[in-house]
C-alpha cells in the first residue's frame, strides 16, 4: 500500500500458537470429572456420552492433575470430592505463574516466522484474556520478558470471552490504519482449565467438557512482507442479541470463574448469524460466493453445525475449525487464532481444497457473552499458490436477511 495515498490497510504478517505441556485425552478428562463429582455408574455413562459427542480428542492444561489418578494431584486436594476446593486466590496465583510463559511461547513462535523482524520496532502490545486478572499485569511482564522497549504502548482486553480476539484485531487494525508505522503485537492467552467448577448442572458439565488452555499471537503491520503470505484485515461487523444474554455468561465466584453455557446458545446463533453475515458481506462489497475459506470459532460441535445449516456449508468448509476442536478443544479467545493458523498452514501448503490464490477471501466468526456475534473478512495476499483460485459458488440468497 502506498503510504502517500492515506488509504492505509492492516495485515496479519505472522501467527504463532502455543499450548501447555499436559495433553490429556478427552475420555481421561471425563474420568477425572466423574470421580471429582462422585458420580454413580448411571451418571458416569451419561457424562461419557456427553464427552464423546464433543468431537474433541484431547485438550491441554497447565495442570497435570487431569491426567493423574486420585492421590497424585498437585493443585486439587488429594481427597474425595477435592475438598477443600481451590479458591479464586489459589487459581489466580497459578494464572500469574503460567499465563506469561505460555503467552511468550506463542509470541516467540509468531516472531520467528517473520524473518528479519526487529522486535524493538514493535510499537503496541495488546493482551487479551478472560481467565485471569492482576496488576502490574501480563502486558508489563511480557514487555520485560521479550525485551521490548519500555515505551511500547500497552492495552489489556479482559473478560470478553471467546470473541476477545476480534476486539484485539479490531484495535490493532485501527492503530495501523491511523499510523502506518505502527507494528502491533496481539496475544490471547487463556487458562480455562483453572476454573473447573464442581457442579452438576448441565451448563457446568458442558463447560467442563469443552474448555482448554492455549495462547496465540499475531503481528499486525501496515504492509505485507514481499513475496510472503499475509492476511489483510478487510472488514469487521458485530451485533448483539440481548435476548440471549442469560444463555452465555462468565462470572467470578468464590471458587473460580463460572461459565454459563446453555444448550440454547446454538439456537440464538442460528437466529442471528444470517443477518450478521449479510451485513458484513454488504459492507465488504462481497457475496457469499466470493468466500473461499472459513475460520469459524469452534465454540462446540453444535455451533459449527448450526453455522453450516444457515450458510449452506459442507462440513469440509469448516474443516479447520473441526481440526482445532478435535486437537485442542475450546481455548476461549485464542481459539479462532488457532483456526486462522490452520488456514495459514493450508495456504502455504497449497492444499486448501478449493485452492486459493493471492486474492482469496476468508470469513471468520466468533461468539460470546452478551450474546455477542463477531465477524470479519480477511483477504489473502502475497505468496500466490500455483493452482488457480476456485470457490464453491453459493448464492447470497442462502443467507437470510432479517
Verify whether residue 188 is a known catalytic residue: no
Which is it for the CA torsion 44, 49, 52, 55, positive or negative? negative
Residues 45, 311: Cα–Cα separation, whole Å: 35
Given the residues 110, 130, 162, 188, the one annotated as active site: 162
Instruction: Name, in order, each residue with C-beta under 8 angstroms of 65's C-beta and a sequence gap of 6 or more.
Output: 32, 73, 74, 75, 76
CA atoms within 13 A on the CB side of 269: 32
As given in the structure block, the three cell numbers for residue 321 are 475449525
Q: Are 354 and 84 in contact (CB under 8 A)?
A: no
84-99 b/e with 16+ CB inside 10 Å = b? ebbebebbbebbeebb
As given in the structure block, the three cell numbers for residue 317 are 468448509
Q: Residue 230: exposed, middle, or buried by beta-carbon count in 10 A (0-12, 13-18, 19+)? A: buried
Q: How far from 132 is each of 99, 165, 322, CA to CA, in Å?
A: 8, 16, 27
Q: Residue 283: exposed, middle, or buried by beta-carbon count in 10 A (0-12, 13-18, 19+)? A: middle
What residues act catalytically?
162
Amino acid at each position: 500500500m502506498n503510504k502517500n495515498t492515506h488509504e492505509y490497510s492492516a495485515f496479519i504478517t505472522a501467527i504463532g500458537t502455543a499450548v501447555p505441556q499436559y495433553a490429556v485425552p478427552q475420555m481421561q478428562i471425563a474420568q477425572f470429572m466423574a470421580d471429582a463429582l462422585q458420580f454413580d455408574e448411571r451418571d458416569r455413562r451419561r457424562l461419557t456420552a456427553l464427552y464423546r459427542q464433543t468431537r474433541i480428542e484431547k485438550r491441554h492444561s497447565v495442570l497435570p492433575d487431569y491426567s493423574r489418578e486420585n492421590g497424585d494431584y498437585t493443585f486439587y486436594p488429594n481427597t474425595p470430592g477435592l475438598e477443600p476446593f481451590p479458591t479464586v486466590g489459589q487459581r489466580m496465583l497459578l494464572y500469574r505463574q503460567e499465563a506469561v510463559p505460555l503467552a511468550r511461547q506463542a509470541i516467540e513462535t509468531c516472531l520467528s516466522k517473520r524473518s528479519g523482524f526487529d522486535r524493538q520496532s514493535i510499537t503496541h502490545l495488546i493482551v487479551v484474556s478472560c481467565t485471569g486478572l492482576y496488576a502490574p499485569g501480563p502486558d508489563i511482564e511480557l514487555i520485560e520478558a521479550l525485551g521490548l522497549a519500555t515505551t511500547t504502548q500497552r492495552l489489556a482486553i479482559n473478560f470478553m470471552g471467546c470473541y476477545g480476539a476480534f476486539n484485539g484485531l479490531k484495535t490493532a487494525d485501527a492503530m495501523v490504519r491511523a499510523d502506518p508505522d505502527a507494528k502491533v503485537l496481539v496475544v490471547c492467552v487463556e487458562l480455562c482449565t483453572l476454573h473447573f467448577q464442581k457442579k452438576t448442572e448441565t451448563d457446568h458439565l458442558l463447560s467442563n467438557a469443552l474448555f482448554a488452555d492455549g495462547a496465540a499471537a499475531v503481528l499486525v503491520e501496515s504492509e505485507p512482507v514481499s513475496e510472503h503470505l499475509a492476511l489483510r484485515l478487510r472488514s469487521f461487523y458485530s451485533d448483539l442479541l440481548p435476548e440471549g444474554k442469560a444463555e452465555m455468561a462468565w462470572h467470578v465466584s468464590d471458587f473460580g470463574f463460572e461459565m454459563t453455557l446453555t444448550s440454547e446458545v446454538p439456537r440464538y446463533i442460528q437466529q442471528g448469524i444470517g443477518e450478521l453475515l449479510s451485513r458484513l458481506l454488504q459492507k465488504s462489497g462481497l457475496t457469499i460466493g466470493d468466500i473461499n475459506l472459513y475460520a469459524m470459532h469452534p465454540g462446540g460441535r453444535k455451533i459449527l453445525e448450526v453455522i453450516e445449516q444457515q450458510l449452506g456449508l459442507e462440513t469440509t468448509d469448516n474443516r479447520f475449525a473441526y481440526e482445532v476442536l478435535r486437537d485442542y478443544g475450546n481455548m476461549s479467545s485464542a481459539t479462532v487464532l488457532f483456526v486462522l493458523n490452520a488456514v495459514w498452514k493450508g495456504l502455504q501448503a497449497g492444499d486448501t481444497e478449493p485452492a486459493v490464490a493471492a486474492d482469496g477471501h476468508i470469513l471468520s466468526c466468533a461468539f460470546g457473552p452478551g450474546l455477542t456475534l463477531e465477524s470479519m473478512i480477511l483477504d489473502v495476499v502475497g505468496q500466490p499458490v500455483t493452482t488457480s483460485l476456485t470457490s464453491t459458488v453459493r448464492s447470497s440468497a442462502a443467507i437470510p436477511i432479517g
